[in-house]
Copies of this chain bind each other. A is one copy, B any other.
Amino acid sequence: MKRILLIEDEPQIARFVQLELNHEGYEVTVANDGRDGLEVFKAHPFDLVLLDIMLPSLNGIEVLRRIRQLSNVPIIMLTARDSVMDKVSGLDNGADDYITKPFAIEELLARLRNLLRKQVSQTSVLSYKSLVLDLNQHECTVNNNQVDLTKKEFDLLHMLLKHKNQVLSRELLIEKIWGYEFDGTTNSIDVYVRYLRAKIEEPFDEKFIHTVRGVGYIIKDE
């Protein structure tokens, strides 16, 4: 399922677009202002961004510029009718398309499909405190010290980091990393959490992975 980030401050429009896109089978996350949008973008991977130009706290053009420093994710700008300046400015700064408000939802859908067809993947680095995980290089560092992880260890840490601030059940982890149904008899997860702790926590006197008894494991901000 394609993930879309909608950065839009007008609640009715945001809600409406979100629901319509849900209906079409997209997974939509909404951010209400520019700063939020940028944060959310940094924290999660998206396949496409819908970005309003007029935004509180950090305007659309600025958000566009900053996202482009990080990623070449497809971006569609939402502009006011006849604001030629906005369009030009948006495209100049790396937007892939624009659509003027108010728009027919069908037109938006068409432009979405169009851009998503061309798309390539990205998102290469996840981090949390002194912990950095480079997905492309398959590398992990803590406090700038490189730590060698096996594939399973890496995948587990990847999963926990990708969904930080969310408790992940053993069931879900087994399903996503091992690829089979959790039958309740294996404690592989527990063992790998132990390995990770021994490699990335104990030597550096850090604490990343927390146990939530009866539920699962989580990496979370305080």
Given contacts A92-B12, A98-B19, contact A215 B138 (CB under 8 A): yes
Closest B residue to A99 using CB positions: B23
The interface on chain A, measured as residues whose beta carbon lies within 8 A of the other chain's beta carbons, has a size of: 26
Please determine whether B12 and A137 come into contact, CB atoms closer than 8 angstroms.
no
Cα distance A138–B87 when bound, in Å? 44
A-to-B contact residues, CB < 8 Å: 12, 15-16, 19, 22, 87-88, 91-92, 97-98, 121, 136-138, 150-151, 165-167, 212-215, 218, 220
Out of B91, B136, B214, B215, which one reaches A19, CB within 8 Å? B91
Chain B nearest CB from A66 CB (Å) reads 20
Question: Which 9 interchain pairs have the tightest Cβ spacing?
Answer: A151-B214, A136-B166, A138-B167, A15-B91, A138-B212, A138-B215, A137-B220, A137-B165, A19-B91
A137 and B167 contact, Cβ closer than 8 Å, known pairs A15-B91, A19-B91, A92-B15: yes
